Structure 1
Amino acid sequence: MTTAAARKQRIEFGDFQTPDALAVAVCRRLHDLGICPDVVIEPTCGVGAFVEAAAQFFPTAKQILGFEVNNDYLEISHARLQGELASGRVRLAQADFFATRWQSILEVLTGSLLVLGNFPWVTNSVQSGIGGDNLPRKANFQCHNGLDAIMGKANFDISEWMLLEVFRWLEGRQGDVAMLVKTAVARKVLAHAQRQGLAIASSCIIKIDAKKAFDVSVDACLLIVRFNSALPATDEYQVFDSLEATQGQRVGHRMGVSIASLDAFDANIALVGQSPEKWRSGVKHDAAAVMELTRHGQLLQNGYGETVDIESDYLYPLMKGSDIGNGKGWRKKYLLVTQRYVGESTDSIRTRTPKTWAYLQKHADILGARASSIYVKNPPFSVFGVGAYSFRPWRIAICGLYKSLDFRLITPLEGKPVMFDDTVYYLSFDNEMAAQQVFTLLHSYEAKDLLSSLIFWDEKRPVKASILNMLDWSRLHTAKESPQQGQLSLGVCA
């Protein structure tokens, strides 16, 4: 196999083979938790690390079954497990997870079941990008609406679908799931299980060092889920910092929402509601080189290094997410905002600002080739994330990508409201007094404690509009904590 083909295969199958030491540590932790299965299944057993560890730590298991789609890996597993295979307790078979009729296998197995392993660490969009077909049949299993699916919210990890399939295996029977997955995937499937009312008796997330184990920079964990329909289902779980840790943090679900700290959430539950003003995301345009300009002296320049001569009517000061997140001031950047509301005709630009129209026409091929289908049925040169709220002069803003609750109070600049990119969430106000009052409330201890209880800081975009909109800051009559010195500095000094 060529290097390129091997790389494609590793990406397609999310192929991160579990080190023997980690498989042993996982099985030891499961044994210490009192998990004692009658049958162990490893649906994607690779080179057999978990099968071998399971044979060691679960001596009373009557059957240990390993399945693997890659025949080369299966041969390695056969070689390393010769003794266990000879005893008849361990069995290996070639199987494609997505094509196997698992119910026909499961229905002949009796007793408690442990589904153990390490599912692929790859998303469906990456699979599509490399032409891979290691995918389940297409279905909107996350139940996203059309726009969310178009905007990329329906992108999912293959392991997420596989875990939910395994959860279905355990409906109506006693058993456990122990799987190495991305931490974000673990939280998603637990939230899904809670919404579906699955009979989860207990569950936990145990953090692992993915860099050490797999040489990848991602937050990963061991997810353990215990099913028992005879016991009441729980909407709480614990998070442990390592496989050796014995004290965890209470995490779970309330009101259909995943909660990072139940203690902090419960302490501030009186503030949970709906934000009096809706948090919005910045402008989406998918053409930064054309739509974003920078002033150098008296000249404007686009991302292609071209000098741009257009009217100022549709130009607005722009602050990027990195500006907001890093506490930077305005860097003389502008955004070309072609509409005041989504779907507005752009024809008036032609007569009102002919130089702007000529500039847009010059780059019409680039703007027309924007990949997202949201642009197809809208007027030429459209943008998204605009409405009446976009043009109120005062702003409170925060970048969703940064791992801190640092709100910024932003003034109008050059007589216009400041625009943001779509990594920024913001509130808008008609006057400074209203903005200042809410800014102070958002920096209160209670507000930050509630928001922090809702945020999982290891996520790629930890701060989300859905979280910010859960805080009803009108219930905060006085703020016990004033904004830090310098956070009230506005505009170019912000």
Structure 2
Amino acid sequence: MKLTISKLIEEARAFCKNESAINHEQLVGITDGKAVGTYIEHRFKEYLKNKYEVTIGSSAKGVDLPDDNINTDIKVTSATKPQSSSPFKNFEQQIYGLGYNLLIFVYKKNDINEKCYLGFKHCIFLESEKSGDYGLTKVLRKMIELGANETDIIEILKDKNFPNDYQSLKTLAKKIISNPPKQGYLTISNAFQWRLQYNQIIKLKDEIDGVYTNTNYNEKELEDYQTPLSITEEICAYLKNNLKINPTVIIEPTCGIGNFLRSASKVFESKELYGIEIDAEKINAVDRSIPNLNLINEDIFKFKFDMINENESYLIIGNPPRKNNTNFINNLHGKTNCFNMSEQIILKIIEIFKNTKTTIAFLCKTTVARNIFKRLIKNKIPYNFIKQLTFNFSKISKMNKNSCLLIIQLGEKQLPNNICEVSEFSNPDKILHKICFEYDSNSNNDKLIDIDGKCEIDWKLGVKHDCAKIMELTCKNNQLMNNLDEKVNIETILLYPLLKGGDLKKPLINETSKYIIITQKKIKQDTTYIKTKAPKTWEYLNNNKTYFDNRKSKMYKRTPAFSISDIGDYAFKKYKVGISGFNKEPNFTLVYNEKPVMLDNSCYYLSFDDFDEAYITLLILNSQLVKKFLKNIAFLDSKRPFSKAILKRINIGKCLKILSFADLKKIEKELNLNDYIMPKKFLKYKNKYCKTND
């Protein structure tokens, strides 16, 4: 049978699937990417020769499959840095393509227990006419669409260092205008041999026909990292020695290469061990000498758990993949409302085993652990105890540093106080803090006074622009400098004082050497007014337009040039009481200036027109009453412990029913502030926020 392009694409896909499932022992320990590439290329050529009539080209000729109807070169590259080199004849190939098709294999090599697996992440067939340079062809096509002339095209070619004389460039420009190139998908850098980079083609693979993408678990994409044996052994020992867990059956969902199973078999005397794993590569690497081991190559979301026996005591243990990727999970498992794979797996396990004698011990992100705890409370699922042990895993593995060991012992009773104790894994007896849901002053062990509710003033996030290099300026020796260390000469009309989260260290701040350009007073406001109102600023922004165009956030799509976010009338009020969302201590700062001070998006704030109102709010928020409340409802190990959702629960009216004028005077003194607050001002404030019918 003669090989065709359609058959070539079909066979390349089949080859990827077949090769991903077998052990390539010849490659164990091989780190030379060229050697791996040659190995894969030779195997694919042999694969084709055994099934089709096909000419295999020589290296001297440069094209691996030179038949006229195929005309395809094979490229093999690692997923870590997807690129290769290619000989070239002339620079025109950057515009109209290399002159031959490309078949690109992108692989991830994994050496596991003296075995080697090649996970093919992508297999892309790229037609010859689409093999030009992505950036250059995109610019040329856009210019032609806008009516560019020969001179315009020549300038672009010169800018791209095309090494031709003027007449040759003019001839090429005419050709480009009369015969516009197809959109290219390679990134081509000039060298003795062109360096072809494939990141762009992988990113835009949905636009290209003949693409195969492997949906097997990928460590980097799914954050599916194998837990080191040193950790799995410590965890199993802790469960047995500290918590006296003695399971008869152990199950590791998404078991990977089975490190938890290995450690559990040594620590516990269990009748049965089960490892469930969708990835055949990993399950093939599990140590088969583990006693009483049952391995199941299946999707955890589809597995039925038919082995459950109410007379057994279970330990469900593991480190599930944890990527926040809704589309991937929905496509792969048909699930909805799932924002983290590990969270969905743990919830599934809880639902299945909630009426059995089961201990669950999972490594996961701290945010996932809190969501699981919240779900237990909301759904009134009985449990005997719940613990969260923090552990900076990034020191010894690739896992997120904000990870923890979540331990839940399901049972017949529901704890009355809805509290999860948080400790360090290295010192589990020392309680760092407690997580409390459905705050209730009557049941809280710490006997907190209830100020939970809804804040009477709206908390706002600081201004967001995602362009700090250009938008944020510093005054040095009476000269404005941007974050590129360039001098900036613009009008002051759109320039505002700026404070960032790290600057909020004192209770009162009214000076700053930082400034920010504020282009809008409300979301999506037309910014062309800047051209006449502040022409120097307009010129500066346009000179740096590339930085704005490269912003990744979708919020700037279809918005006016130089748009910002989280802006409104509230941002231009003179007085603000703010806090850094990243702080571990809830310390609040009152900021003000003749011109409104802007806070960046690491901060949350309340805004005021009246200094006295802002000042009294500052004192209330810095009271021990509020601080203790916040530290008990916030997640102190989060990236942003004091989020808007946390802050808006502070009910000022409730605080005023507890805090007296004398209390505020004491706080004023503790903050080393001048003697300012007076009874009349306090009474006016209290009448506004403390309603007598509450």
- Offset, 1:470: 1.1
Identify the residue that residue 527 of structure 2 maps to in structure 1: 346
Deviation track 1:426-472 (CA, whole Å, cap 9, x = no partner) reads 12221222222111112222111111112222221112122121112
Identify the residue that residue 152 of structure 1 maps to in structure 2: none
> Are 2:545 and 1:364 equivalent residues in the alignment?
yes
Q: Distance in 1 between matches of 2:673 and 2:529?
A: 38
Q: Distance in 1 between matches of 2:433 and 2:324?
A: 31
Question: What letter matches 1:356 in structure 2?
Answer: T
Which among 53, 73, 93 is matched to residue 263 of structure 2?
Answer: 53
Matches within 5 A, 1:11-410: 11-12=220-221, 14=223, 16-31=225-240, 33=243, 35-59=245-269, 61-69=270-278, 73-81=282-290, 84=291, 89-97=292-300, 101-103=302-304, 106-111=305-310, 112=312, 113-120=314-321, 122-124=322-324, 137=333, 141=337, 157-170=340-353, 173-208=356-391, 210=393, 214=397, 218-228=401-411, 230-232=412-414, 235-242=418-425, 245-246=428-429, 248=431, 251-255=434-438, 262-264=444-446, 266-269=447-450, 271-325=451-505, 330-410=511-591
Determine helix, strand or coil for the equivalent of 2:254. Answer: coil
Contact 1:319–1:418 (8 Å) recurs in 2: yes
Identify the residue that residue 681 of structure 2 maps to in structure 1: none
Which among 428, 437, 457 is matched to residue 616 of structure 2?
Answer: 437
Identify the residue that residue 461 of structure 1 maps to in structure 2: 640
Determine helix, strand or coil for the equivalent of 1:267. Answer: coil
Identify the residue that residue 114 of structure 2 maps to in structure 1: none
Determine helix, strand or coil for the equivalent of 1:77. Answer: coil
- Cα–Cα, structure 1 residues 377 and 194, in superposed 2: closer, same or farther, change >3 Å? farther
Deviation track 1:226-276 (CA, whole Å, cap 9, x = no partner) reads 334x5447633333443774575784443389x9x9444x4121x112222
- Normalising to structure 2: TM-score of the pair? 0.58
* Mean CA deviation greater in 352-361 or 313-322: 352-361
Deviation track 1:279-326 (CA, whole Å, cap 9, x = no partner) reads 211101111122112223343232334433322221101112222258
Identical columns (%): 28
Identify the residue that residue 482 of structure 1 maps to in structure 2: 667
Question: What letter matches 1:224 in structure 2?
Answer: I
Question: What letter matches 1:118 in structure 2?
Answer: N
Identify the residue that residue 492 of structure 1 maps to in structure 2: none
* Mean CA deviation greater in 351-360 or 236-245: 236-245
Determine helix, strand or coil for the equivalent of 2:454. Answer: coil
- Cα–Cα, structure 1 residues 117 and 199, in superposed 2: closer, same or farther, change >3 Å? same
**Which one has more relative contact order, counting CA pairs under 8 Å at least 6 apart?**
1
- Cα–Cα, structure 1 residues 318 and 208, in superposed 2: closer, same or farther, change >3 Å? closer
Contact 1:12–1:134 (8 Å) recurs in 2: no
Gaps of 5+ in 1: 143-155, 490-494
- Offset, 1:353: 2.4
- Cα–Cα, structure 1 residues 55 and 470, in superposed 2: closer, same or farther, change >3 Å? same
- Offset, 1:390: 0.7
Question: What letter matches 2:542 in structure 1?
Answer: Q
Q: Distance in 2 between matches of 1:350 and 1:227?
A: 65
- Cα–Cα, structure 1 residues 119 and 333, in superposed 2: closer, same or farther, change >3 Å? same
- Normalising to structure 1: TM-score of the pair? 0.79
Q: Distance in 1 between matches of 2:277 and 2:643?
A: 38
- Cα–Cα, structure 1 residues 203 and 135, in superposed 2: closer, same or farther, change >3 Å? farther
Question: What letter matches 1:363 in structure 2?
Answer: N
- Offset, 1:183: 2.7
Gaps of 5+ in 2: 1-26, 32-79, 81-107, 111-118, 120-217, 675-694
Deviation track 1:65-89 (CA, whole Å, cap 9, x = no partner) reads 11345556545533542xx1xxxx3
Q: Distance in 2 between matches of 1:48 and 1:135?
A: 26
Q: Distance in 2 between matches of 1:124 and 1:441?
A: 38
Determine helix, strand or coil for the equivalent of 1:389. Answer: helix
- Cα–Cα, structure 1 residues 425 and 6, in superposed 2: closer, same or farther, change >3 Å? farther
Q: Distance in 1 between matches of 2:495 and 2:553?
A: 24
Question: What letter matches 1:350 in structure 2?
Answer: K
- Cα–Cα, structure 1 residues 139 and 302, in superposed 2: closer, same or farther, change >3 Å? farther
Q: Distance in 2 between matches of 1:223 and 1:458?
A: 14
Determine helix, strand or coil for the equivalent of 1:307. Answer: coil
Determine helix, strand or coil for the equivalent of 1:283. Answer: coil
Contact 1:281–1:422 (8 Å) recurs in 2: yes
- Cα–Cα, structure 1 residues 407 and 334, in superposed 2: closer, same or farther, change >3 Å? same
- Cα–Cα, structure 1 residues 243 and 166, in superposed 2: closer, same or farther, change >3 Å? farther
- Offset, 1:397: 1.7
- Offset, 1:209: 5.5
Q: Distance in 1 between matches of 2:670 and 2:433?
A: 34
Number of aligned pairs?
A: 453
Contact 2:278–2:297 (8 Å) recurs in 1: yes
- Offset, 1:133: 9.2
Determine helix, strand or coil for the equivalent of 1:78. Answer: coil
Question: What letter matches 2:637 in structure 1?
Answer: D
Greater Rg, structure 1 or structure 2? 2
- Offset, 1:216: 6.0
- Cα–Cα, structure 1 residues 455 and 67, in superposed 2: closer, same or farther, change >3 Å? same
- Offset, 1:117: 1.3
- Cα–Cα, structure 1 residues 223 and 164, in superposed 2: closer, same or farther, change >3 Å? same
Q: Distance in 2 between matches of 1:359 and 1:456?
A: 42
Q: Distance in 2 between matches of 1:200 and 1:25?
A: 24
